[in-house]
A and B are shown apart, each in its own frame.
Chain A
Amino acid sequence: MKHLLFSVLMMLFAPNLLATDMPLNMTQGVTEISSKVYHLHMVILYICCAIGVIVFGIMIYSMIHHRKSKGAVAANFHESTKVEIAWTVVPFIILIIMAIPATKTLIAMEDPSDADLTIKVTGSQWKWHYSYFDHDIDFFSILSTPREQIEGKEAKGEHYLLEVDKPLVLPINRKVRFLMTSDDVIHSWWVPAFAVKKDANPGFINEAWTKIDKAGTYRGQCAELCGKDHGFMPIVVEAVSEADFETWLASQQQLTEDKAQQAQAALNQTLSQPELMTLGEQVYLARCAACHQPNGMGLPGVFPGLVKSPITVGKVGAHIDIVVNGKPGTAMQAFANQLTATEIAAVVTYERNAWGNDTGDTVQAADIEKHGQQEAQ
């Protein structure tokens, strides 16, 4: 009710409070292809407008001049083969003229050969995973807009819902090939500035490509309904010069190595329960809360709650197992390759002690590692 009242008030007073300029037309984008697509769009739009002006013009003319109140008397004609052939053939010719550039552009768009760089894009509920072929770099890219902004408890930032924790970084002036796939339902990877929109189908691989002309940050969104948080899985691409890209690649490779070392070191580390709980809460809110909800209650009938559930207050092993391996055939993903052992240990500890679960259990990175080894045997 309060919301409703608020909405009504907003309607009356605030049409311009949030004014940011929205472009009213398709973007020209920053690639040769996107500019071709834009021009196709404009040509077909102009053709439609021209036909519209003629047809509606004639119609409005007769609405004004051929009205009964003006004394118009109805004529008697009701067919004319010549006219009818004309208005079948002329549109046909216009369509052929339109089809020629459309065909050319389409064929160019669908040719991903001779790429300089290949990136595998994997959608899953509700995040993107990028993996750079031949570079041993891969990471997840997740919405970074804070929940408070979405729920209206904080002012919304400039890039509300179009910001991620770690953007995809691409070089300009190089042909980049994307291989799209999905781990669960169908998603669709769309960046308007590149005119690339391609479905990520589970179990299949789709190809697309782009060659960016201008450095900058480009934003897009998932375009195929993929469940509850379909509106919350944006795409951010950072396009940088080729030199900067090489530097970035090197820094990422370093990062990967450092992380591996850290993870190795963490295996021998024992964290205190408060430490685990703090880290666990962070991980939980970022990765788990979308389904199981921040308060652990889940959505009855859709996503199970974790409060006093058989898993979270039952055997530790089973709990670790479902987080590490997921549950096939459901939305529960395998987090083994998404989180480090320390993070998994922390989040399991958190789930076992938060919301009154109070099992008192602590799980360490080494336990996760042990679980993996037992499995391997």
Chain B
Amino acid sequence: MWSWSFTFKVLPKLLSAAKITFIATILGFLLASILGLVWTFLKRAKIHWISSSATAIVEFIRRTPLLIQLFFLYYTLPSFNIRLPALTVGIIGLGLHYSTYLSEVYRAGIEAVEKEQWEAAKSLNFTPYQTWTLVILPQAIPPIIPMMGNYLITLFKETPLLAAISVVELLQQAKIIGSEYFQYLEVFTLVGIIFFIFSYPSSLLVQYLEIKLKNPAEKRM
């Protein structure tokens, strides 16, 4: 059933498509990290309509499928005269979707910083910007690194959805090869294995970090 010669024939092709998967993962996560922070600040805004609309938007994005969000971006952006390569659209979609998860993580991290730290910053007459960059974030970020790591892994496993908007990443490449030879077993199994050998060790690493940091942010959640 399983053909090793076929396996070795298609493996290089799959691995080169895996490059796209990794690019999408890394850039998508980068975008999510930054955008997540933006949401966190918007949700904390003193002006009520800003904070409440940010909360509503984040909730909406979180409760709807990434797949539709990708379709939405892919098919409607051009009608606003924004023409982007599919991979870029995919990265934006992934980044936007996961930014909502990361904003929760940041919130937990920030809330875990003791309120005395804010008072200390005030007593030293720091500006708000200084308070955030010098006092709060340096304490809020390290404990949430494992949780961020978890979302990096989750995002990585969601990249196959980009196939739906014609990005030829790992899974799409496998499907193309599979239908060409009408031989799906090897390609789809290989894709699964490739995902597994990246995500499983990473999740072990995250667990290790979690234990090591004894994550104070998580206790609050």
> Do these two chains really belong together in a complex?
no
A residues apposed to B, CB below 8 Å: none
